[in-house]
A and B are shown apart, each in its own frame.
Chain A
Amino acid sequence: MRKLLQLVFGDVRNIISVALAIALAYMAQRWIPAAAGWILVGAIIVAGFWQAV
């Protein structure tokens, strides 16, 4: 079961990465709505780098 959940959601770093990226986009939407999506993309790329190192 744990393995299956890991396959769906990944490890803790993966979940934290996606959660943080969405939280950042959510916060950014208050000030610069049109940039919120690209902030999510930037955060996901940084997370990719962080996890790949």
Chain B
Amino acid sequence: MNATQWGGMSAIFLASAVEWVEAFTIVLAVALSIGWKRAVSAALAALVVVAALVAVTGVGLTVVKADINRIRAVIGVFLLLFGLRWYVKAIRRYAGRTALHDEAREFSETREHLAHAEAHVAWLVAFKGVLLEGLEVWLLVVALGRTLSYAQASGSALVALLAVIVVGLMLRAPLTRVPENTLKFTVACALLAFGSFWSVGGLLGEHTVWPLGDVTLLPLFAVYAVSGRLIGLKLRLSAADTAEGSRA
């Protein structure tokens, strides 16, 4: 192999590793709420779809290239809707505003139905996230792999996927010790970060709205996390003030 080929393979490895990390973040977030088995099944299903599309590259590539922004926008809006609900729930719990007895009553009424339906939606979130990232990796393979053979280009993307999975699995155990509401809040912030990035990026043009590209996901996550905690704190303090006022 010559230097150009090594360069091409490294570029594909690094670029697709970034996409796979994003996909893994979503799978991880979903796994923490519905379990690894279901989250992994969603990821595998999405990868199978991507693989099937890759198998018919000629036809599929044209479709995906034309519609990648529309796909991004639709999935982004879906993540915003789902993430905002979890965000509000977690903030209310931080603020002590969610009346636990109401939740318990609601849960006892529709417990199984809710659990099943919520798991189904969470499964879809993981599926769509991995599908979108997988499609982006595929476009990268095609775009950057012109100097390489198809096997070298897709091999680099697969090695990146394996590397991300190994690192991700190492993070799995420590995460189980984090309190449940913190996990759900973190998941909500991650979903909102991806949802914000993809929705307006897909609708208005990623380079126009997010000139820094994928790196923007980190500040997006941080802004949602800090704001959410501040809102929770503010609501908790005003609830405490009200309680004190009524006692006095």
A residues sitting closer than 8 Å to B (CB atoms) are 3-4, 7-10, 14-15, 17-18, 21-22, 25-26, 29, 33-34, 36-37, 40-41, 44-45, 47-49, 51-53
Closest 6 CB pairs of A and B: A37-B209, A51-B88, A52-B91, A10-B85, A45-B227, A33-B208
Contact call A7/B231, Cβ cutoff below 8 A: no
Contact call B235/A29, Cβ cutoff below 8 A: no
A4 to B122, CA, bound (A): 12
B200 to chain A, nearest CB (A): 5
Contact call A26/B204, Cβ cutoff below 8 A: yes
Determine the residue in chain A with the shortest Cβ distance to B226.
Answer: A45
* Interface size, B (range): 35 or more
Task: Tell me which of B200, B210, B232 has the highest count of chain A C-beta atoms within 10 A of its own C-beta.
Answer: B200
A25 to B121, CA, bound (A): 26
Contact call A10/B81, Cβ cutoff below 8 A: yes
B237 to chain A, nearest CB (A): 13
Binary per-residue interface labels of chain B (193-223) against chain A in the complex, 1 for a CB within 8 Å, 0 otherwise: 0001101110110001111000010001001
Chain B hits for A49, CB < 8 A: 231
Determine the residue in chain B with the shortest Cβ distance to A22.
Answer: B199
Contact call B81/A48, Cβ cutoff below 8 A: no
Take A3-B117, A25-B204, A36-B200 as given contacts and tell me if A52 and B85 are in contact as well, using a CB distance cutoff of 8 Å.
no
Binary per-residue interface labels of chain B (173-206) against chain A in the complex, 1 for a CB within 8 Å, 0 otherwise: 0000000000000000000100011011101100
A8 to B74, CA, bound (A): 13
Take A26-B204, A40-B200, A48-B227 as given contacts and tell me if A18 and B80 are in contact as well, using a CB distance cutoff of 8 Å.
yes
13 A/B residue pairs, CB under 8 Å, sorted by A: A3-B113, A3-B117, A14-B81, A18-B77, A25-B203, A45-B223, A45-B227, A48-B88, A48-B231, A49-B231, A52-B88, A52-B231, A52-B232
